[in-house]
Amino acid sequence: MPHTKTKVVAVTVDDTGHVTTTPNPVKVRNQNVLLAFQLLTPGYAFPDSEAIVVSDGGEQFPFPSWTLSGSTAALLDANSAAGDFAYTVSVVELATGKALRIDPSIQNETK
């Protein structure tokens, strides 16, 4: 079971190549939360770098994401200030090398 400061985000790809993240938006209420992205669809993988990229994350996302395996990527959310942050999730179709993306959001809610 994940630590209480870990939020799991499921990433799936449907038959048409549409990427979905659940939940969307990701609501973060605690500080220093690890966002763990789990790719659940066989035949796809996270790229080795930049699997998760936050647009204008500034101090809220102080480190780039890291890919732990083809099916797991992680991102630290400092969540020291409230705000909405757009981010991009990238996956690669293993059979073709085709890159797929989705642009969901993270909502930081401070206590």
Residue of higher predicted confidence among 110 and 34: 34
Q: Per-residue pLDDT tens for 68-99?
A: 999 999 999 999 999 999 999 999 999 999 99
User: What is the model's pTM?
Assistant: 0.94
- Mention every residue, 6+ apart, whose C-beta is less than 8 A from residue 89: 11, 19, 21, 37, 51, 52, 101, 102, 103, 104
Mean of all residue pLDDT scores within the chain: 95
Q: Which domains does the chain have, with CATH numbers?
A: 6-108 (2.60.40)
Amino acid at the residue 57: G
Between CA 94 and CA 31 the distance in angstroms is 35
* Residue 1 pLDDT greater than 70, yes or no: no
Token couple for 2: 């994940």
For residues 21-34, one letter each, b for 16 or more C-beta atoms within 10 angstroms of the residue's C-beta and e for the rest, the string is: beeeebebeeeebe
